[in-house]
Amino acid sequence: MLILSQKQVEKIIPLKKIKDVVTAVEEAFFEYGMGRVQMPPKNYLDFKKYEGDLRIMPSFAQKLEMAGTKIVNVHPKNPKKGLKTVMAVIILNDAETGLPLAFMDGTYITGMRTAAAAAVATKYLARKNAKSLGVIGAGYQSIFQIAAITKVRKIKEIFVYDVLESQVEKLAKILAKEGIKIKKASLEEAAKKDIIVTVTPARKPILKNKLVLPGTHINAMGADGPGKEELDPKILKRAKIIIDDWHQAICCGEVNVPLAKGIIQKKDIWASLGEVITGKKIGRKNDNEITIFDSTGLAVQDLFTANLVYKKAKKLGKELKLF
C-alpha cells in the first residue's frame, strides 16, 4: 500500500497544477451526473463539547474501478495551536479485489478539490466575459479558490474581504509567490464583482441581497452543515440555484436554512452541477441571470482527486523517493 504524507501530495499536485485537479473534478461530476457513481450520504459524528465534527465519506466510481473513503474533521475553533480547521485522510481500494492501494493525507486534497468544484461551476455558470472576482473570507481555502477560478476565466482583478485584515495580507503574500495579485477590499467592494466566492463558517447571512448585481455568479462554499448559511435568502429567490448533491444540499448546504424556514422550496432548486455538465439541464441562459453554486463537498471529488495523486505518484515514485 502506497502511503503519502501531505508534503508528498503537495509535490505531486502543486498549486500551479491545480488545473489538473479541476479536470479530474469535472470528470467526477460528469460520472456522478451519468449515474455511474455510488456515493452514500456523509456520516457525521458530532463533537458538540468541542464545537467540531468528524465526517466519513465513501464513494465508488465504475470508470476508475476504485473506491475511496475520506475521514475528515471540521473544527472552526480548533483549540490546538497550529492545527487547521479541516484535516483529512483518504484511503483508496481496488474495486475488483478490495485491496487497499493507497493511504494518503487528505487535507491538501480537500483544499484542492473543493476549489476545483467552484472552478467547474464557474466554467459552466459564470458569464463568458466575467473578469472580476470577489472573495469573502481569506482563510486557507481561499488560496485554492483563487488559484482554481483563475484557470477557467481570464480574471483581471481580485478583491478579497475578511473581518481580519491580517488574513488578507497573509493571503496576498502566499498568492504573490504564485504570480497572483489580490487587493484588500470592503465587503461591498468584494460583493460587486462578476464572480463571488463566499468561504466562511458563517451561521448568519453575510452577503446581502442589495449588494449582488444582475449577472453575478456566486460560489457558496462555506455552508457544509445544518444551520450554516452565508447568503441573504432574498438572493436565492432571485437566482438560479445549482447544487452539488440533493441530499447533502438539503441537509447541510446553503439552501438548508431557507428550506427549513419555508423561504424557498425544493422546486426552487434548478439542478445539480452534474445535470448541467451532462447536458440534462441548461446552466446559464443569459447574462442577466444570477447563478448560485451551492457546494457541500462530495466524496467523489475526493476519489477522483486522490486517484490523480495515486497515478502521478506511481509515475514519479523514484523521483519523489516514495518507495
Q: Are 116 and 183 in contact (CB under 8 A)?
A: no
For 3, 83, 138, 312, the CA distances from 317, given in Å and listed in that order, are 11, 29, 34, 8
Q: Are 198 and 136 in contact (CB under 8 A)?
A: yes
CB contact burial 225-241 (16+ within 10 A = b; e otherwise): beebbbbbbebbeebbb
Residue with grid cell 436554512, as numbered in its chain: 257
Q: Are 74 and 55 in contact (CB under 8 A)?
A: yes
Q: Which of 11, 19, 70, 151 is catalytic?
A: 70
CA distance 66 to 216: 38
CA distance 192 to 212: 6
Strands 100-105, 291-294: pairing is: unpaired
Strands 100-105, 2-4: pairing is: parallel
CB contact burial 123-161 (16+ within 10 A = b; e otherwise): bbbbbeebebbbbbbbbbbbbbbbbbbbbbbebeebbbb
CA distance 132 to 130: 6
**Residue 70 designated active-site:** yes
Joined together, the cell numbers standing for residue 160 give 478579497
Q: Are 100 and 2 in contact (CB under 8 A)?
A: no
Catalytic residues: 70
